[in-house]
Amino acid sequence: MPFIQIPQSGINKRIKASALKFLELVLAATLATTAKDKNTPTYAVVFKAFKRVLVQDSTNVQLNPKLAKYFPGSRNQKKTTSAMLKIQSVIDLVSERFCHFAITAFTQNDQKASLLILQLVRQGDLIIRDLGFLVLAVLKAIQLKGAYFLSRLKYGIVIYDADGETPFDLLAALQKYGRLDRDVCIGAKEKLRARLVAIPVPEAVAAERRRKAKANPALRDSIPAKNI
C-alpha cells in the first residue's frame, strides 16, 4: 500500500478555525453517541425536563518532557518536572455540542475550574460533574440561577435534615433502610437544599471500594467497624 507523507507545513496551513470547529463537532457527536446505552431511553426522554444537560469534565495528556517549560506537569522526588497539559470541556448531551473546550495548564485543577460553569449555566439546565468539581458555593450559585446539579456526595460533608438544623446520620439511615431518597441540607455553613439519593452498588464494587478505603488512612474511618 503506497504511503504518502504530508509536509508539516501543509498540515499547518489546513488547520484553520473552520477545521478546528469541524473536529470539535465530530468529537462532541462521538462522545455523546458513545455515552448512550442502546438499552436505555434516548436523552430526549430521560432529560426532557431540562433545557440542556451540561457535563463538565477534564483529562490530562502526557507530553514530551522537552515541553515541560511550556506545559509543566507533576514533579517527582528527584524534583524532575514532567510535561503535561489538561483539557477542560463542557458538553451539552442534548444538542451534542461543546459549550466549552480549552487546553489549560496541568496546575489548573478541577476545583479551580469549578467556577467556569457559572459563565455557561442557564435557567433550566442540569449540570453533571464528578467529585473533583464539587464546591458547595458553586452548587449554591447554580441553584440561584434556576438550574440543577447532579453530583456524588463527597465524604466529610455535613448533612442536615430538610429543616437545616437537625444533624442527619447518613450511616445509621443506610444501615436501617438500605437505600435513601429524601430532601436534606448539605454543608456546615452553606446548608444547601438538595435531594439525597443512595442505592446499593453490586457486592463486587462494594468490596473493591472497601479494599481501597482500608489502604487509605484518610478513608479508613469512613468504613463501618463490622466491615473492617
- Chosen domain end from 136, 152, 168: 152
Both 93 and 168 in a single domain? no
Strand ranges inside the chain, DSSP E: 53-62, 72-75, 81-92, 97-105, 126-128, 148-150, 159-161, 180-186, 192-198
- For residues 118 and 104, state if they share a domain: yes
Same domain, 103 and 160: no
Shared domain for 206 and 121, answered yes or no, is: no
158 vs 125: CA distance, rounded Å = 26
97 neighbors 32 (Cβ within 8 angstroms): no
102 and 143 both lie in a single domain = yes
CA dist 211 and 197 (Å) reads: 24
pTM of the model: 0.76
pLDDT, tens digit (0-9, with 9 covering 90-100), for 3-40? 566 666 666 666 677 777 777 777 777 777 766 665 55
* 17 and 105 inside one domain: yes
Q: Which SS3 state, helix, strand or coil, does residue 14 take? A: helix
Residue 181 located in a structural domain: yes
- The segments of the chain whose pLDDT lies below 70 read 1-15, 34-44, 76-80, 217-228
Angle at Cα 36 formed by Cα 106 and Cα 91, nearest 5°? Answer: 40
Q: Say whether both 130 and 199 belong to one domain.
A: no
Task: Report pLDDT for 123.
Answer: 96
> What is the extent of the structural domain holding 24?
8-38+49-74+82-152
Encode pLDDT of 75-97 as tens digits: 766 666 788 989 899 999 888 88
* pLDDT on residue 43: 62
Statement to judge: residues 226 and 128 lie in one domain: no
pLDDT at residue number 40: 59
Q: In the prediction, which pLDDT does 182 show? A: 95
Report if residue 1 sits inside a domain.
no
Q: Are 134 and 220 in the same domain?
A: no
CATH (domain of 59): 3.30.420
Tally of structural domains, the chain: 2
CA dihedral in degrees (110, 113, 115, 116; nearest 10)?
-130
